[in-house]
């Protein structure tokens, strides 16, 4: 593998020029102000990267997908992928803010003009954060159609009761998109009866909404959220009542593609660090990278990363051209998460004991990379999706 002047592993040749090189360079420069020491300190204290998120917001990167008429850049998903990949490759963690990129799509596509004018310009400017997505519940898990959080209509709006879990960034968000059941009519299809709401979390806190942090093996700022007779106005409803599940499906492909791009960034982070270390670490009189036992795992991780990256590019292009991309988005997430994990394993083996030392950042990124084998959708469920929807095999669950 050849290293660029900045100690980065070169990617494979492409017949297309990188349309987002300027964005990548800008994000890389921004990330230089937040080195490993910054992330290690936050990781140890399990603190939210406020300064980093503010810097990304002020630079306009978190508003890249919001149309210019609402204060954003109006860029395609490919640009957002470049932003998140670069954050991860630079040693940061885009999970602190990536949700805003794919959550706001439901508001943009299905919200009323009044809602879009009320929220999107303030999200673009950073005055408001839309980082919380209330979907998963303790009993339902990935079976979203079995959620039980209810939104019951009264004369003033809706009354919310229920519980969400793994709602990341809830403590650091001004707004939440909430999926809740508005009908228990058993004659409806399972995909009906669920509605999508936008919640003003600052008003809701201590007025029926309670947030409880969940401590995890990584610094992910995830929570449980409890709703106890939370009152919200009628204009909190996004789109039509009963179509919420359809609305969130629109954003799930974007979510998978963006997180796949993050995984590619993680893989490249490991490859950059591992290749440099293998070249400079001398044991028994020669660089350890001269040994095939070190070379081969790194080489395989590199090959898998480059292949997965091609699928991410393909899925993003399909999405940006409004072409159905559910299969491609899922495969991109599957391959990318596995490539990043393969690169993480190669890094730990190459660094040996130093891989477990916090100062090298390998152990932190190793823990963070593991998450994407199970989130936002597990590897096995993607395989089941492919079996059922692509190969035509019978549903296994």
Number of neighbours of residue 286 by Cβ within 10 angstroms: 10
Report which DSSP code applies to 138.
Answer: T
- Closest of 19, 25, 111 to residue 61, by C-alpha: 25
Q: What share of the chain is helix, strand, coil (3-state, %, to 5)?
A: 55, 15, 30
- Whole-number Å distance between alpha carbons of 22 and 20: 6
pTM of the entire structure? 0.96
Burial of 349 (0-12, 13-18, 19+ CB in 10 A): middle
pLDDT (tens place) for every residue of the chain, 397 residues total: 445 557 899 998 887 788 999 999 999 999 999 999 999 999 999 999 999 999 999 999 999 999 999 999 999 999 999 999 999 999 999 999 999 999 999 999 999 999 999 999 999 999 999 999 999 999 999 999 999 999 999 999 999 999 999 999 999 999 999 999 999 888 888 889 999 999 999 999 999 999 999 999 999 999 999 999 999 999 999 999 999 999 998 789 999 999 999 999 999 999 999 999 999 999 999 999 999 999 999 999 999 999 999 999 999 999 999 999 999 999 999 999 999 999 999 999 999 999 999 999 999 999 999 999 999 999 999 999 999 999 999 999 8
> Would you call the peptide bond into 376 cis, given omega within 30 degrees of 0 as the criterion?
yes
Pairing of strands 223-233, 286-287: unpaired
* Backbone φ, ψ for residue 3 (5° rounding): -100, 140
Determine the distance from the C-alpha atom of residue 111 to the mean position of all C-alpha atoms in its chain, rounded to a whole number: 22
User: How many CB atoms sit inside 10 A of residue 346's CB?
Assistant: 25
Tell me, what DSSP letter sits at residue 321? T
Please report the domains of the chain, with CATH numbers, ordered by start residue.
21-125 (1.10.540.10), 130-244 (2.40.110.10), 246-389 (1.20.140.10)
């Amino acid at each position: 593998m050849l290293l660029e002047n900045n100690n980065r592993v070169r990617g494979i040749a492409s017949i297309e020029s990188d349309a987002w090189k300027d964005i990548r360079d800008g994000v890389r420069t921004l990330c230089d102000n937040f080195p490993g020491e910054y992330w290690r300190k936050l990781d140890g204290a399990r603190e939210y990267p406020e300064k980093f998120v503010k810097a990304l917001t002020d630079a306009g990167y978190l508003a890249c997908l919001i149309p210019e008429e609402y204060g954003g850049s109006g860029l395609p998903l490919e640009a957002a992928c470049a932003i998140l990949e670069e954050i991860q490759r630079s040693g940061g963690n885009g999970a602190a803010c990536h949700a805003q990129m794919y959550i706001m799509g439901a508001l943009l596509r299905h919200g009323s003009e009044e809602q879009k004018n009320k929220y999107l310009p303030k999200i673009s400017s950073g005055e408001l954060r839309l980082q919380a997505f209330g979907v998963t519940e303790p009993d339902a898990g990935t079976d979203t159609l079995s959620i039980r959080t209810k939104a019951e209509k009264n004369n003033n709006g809706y009354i919310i009761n229920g519980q969400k879990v793994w709602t990341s960034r809830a403590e650091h968000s001004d707004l939440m998109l909430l999926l809740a059941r508005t009908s228990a009519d058993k004659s409806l299809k399972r995909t009906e009866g669920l509605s999508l709401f936008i919640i003003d979390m600052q008003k809701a806190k201590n007025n029926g909404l309670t947030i409880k942090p969940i401590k995890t093996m990584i610094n992910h700022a995830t929570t449980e959220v409890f709703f106890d007779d939370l009152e919200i106005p009628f204009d909190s409803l996004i789109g039509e009542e009963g179509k919420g599940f359809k609305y969130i499906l629109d954003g799930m492909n974007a979510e998978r593609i963006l997180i796949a791009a993050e995984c590619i960034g993680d893989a490249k982070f490991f490859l950059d660090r591992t290749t440099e270390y293998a070249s400079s670490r001398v044991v028994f009189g020669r660089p350890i990278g001269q040994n095939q036992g070190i070379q081969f795992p790194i080489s395989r991780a590199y090959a898998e990363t480059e292949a997965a990256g091609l699928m991410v590019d393909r899925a993003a292009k399909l999405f940006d051209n409004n072409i159905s991309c559910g299969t491609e988005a899922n495969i991109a997430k599957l391959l990318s998460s596995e490539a990043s994990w393969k690169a993480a394993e190669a890094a730990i083996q190459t660094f040996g004991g130093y891989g477990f030392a916090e100062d090298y950042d390998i152990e932190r990124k190793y823990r963070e990379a593991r998450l994407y084998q199970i989130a936002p959708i597990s590897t096995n469920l993607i395989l089941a999706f492919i079996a059922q929807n692509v190969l035509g095999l019978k549903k296994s669950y």
